[in-house]
Amino acid sequence: MGSFEPEVVAVAAAVAVAAGLVRGTTGFGGAMVMSPPLALLLGPVVAVPVVLLLEGLAALPMVAGAHRIVRWPVIGPITLMACLTVPLGTWALVAVDPGIMRRVIAATVIVFAFALLRGWRHSGRHRPATGLALGALSGTMVGATSMGGPPVILYLLSGPDPVESTRANLTVFICAISLAGLAGLWAGGVLTAAGAGLAALLAPGYYGGILLGARVFPRLGDRRFRQLVLVLLVAVSAGILLA
C-alpha cells in the first residue's frame, strides 16, 4: 500500500485484528493495543493518525444512541479542554525525536495498564476544575500518542453515575477527541493520504475483531480476560520501551 511494504501491512493488519478483539471484549483498549507496536513498526508520526482514524470511526456510530443520556456537566468541560489542547500534543509528536516518542507511547500504556490492573479510581468529587485539568492532559496525550481515553476512563469509573451514563460519556468523549486529534494532525501536516489509505486497509480487520470479540470472548470470562490483556500490554510495551 503506497510506501508501505507488504510485510509491514500484514503485521499491522494482525495488530489491528488483535486490537479489535480486545476492544470488542473489554470495551476499551483498542488504542492501547495498537499504538506501541504500530509506533515501532511504522514510526509514531504514521501510527498516531492511523490509530485515531480507526478509533474515531469505531466510536462514531455509537454517538447517536449515546447523546441522549450523556452527563454534559461532567464530560463537557473535559471534552472541551481536551479538544483545545490537542495541538500541544501534535507539536510534541512532530518536534520530538521519533525514538523518544515511541518510548513515551509505550510508557503511557504501561502506566495506565498498571492503574487499570490495580483497580485505581479517582476518589474525589467530579469538580469542573478537575475536569478541565484532566481534559488538558487527555488532549495533549491524544495529539502526541493517540491515547487520551485511559485517564478519563479511570476518572469516570469512580463517579456515582450509572454504567449506561458512564458508557455514553466515554463514547461521546472518545469520538470527539479522535476527531479533534485528526483535525490537529491534518492541520500540522501529519495526516497524510498514505496513512489514511493504510487505516482503510486495516479497518476491516479491526472492526471485524470488535464484532467477534463482542460475541465470542466474553464467554471465556470477561474479568480474567481483561486482566490477561492488561498483563500482556505491560509486557509488550516494556519490550518496546527497552528496544
Name residue, grid cell 498498571: 114
**By the 8 A CB rule, do 135 and 80 touch?**
yes
Quick one: which H or E segment has residue 140? Answer: helix 128-145
- Nearest-10 crossing angle of helices 6-26, 193-215: 40
Task: Return the pLDDT at 222.
Answer: 57
**What is the pLDDT of the chain when averaged over all its residues?**
85
pLDDT at 1 over 50: no
Residues for the chain: how many in total? 243
Q: Which residues of 189-206 are buried (b: 16+ CB within 10 A; e: fewer)?
A: ebbbeebeebbebbbebb
How many alpha carbons fall within 13 Å on the CB side of residue 50? 30
Average pLDDT of the segment spanning 222-237: 74
**By the 8 A CB rule, do 39 and 47 touch?**
yes
Compare 65 and 77 and report the one with higher pLDDT: 77
pTM (two decimals) = 0.83
Q: What percent of the chain has pLDDT over 70?
A: 90
pLDDT at 158 over 70: no
Task: Return the pLDDT at 24.
Answer: 81
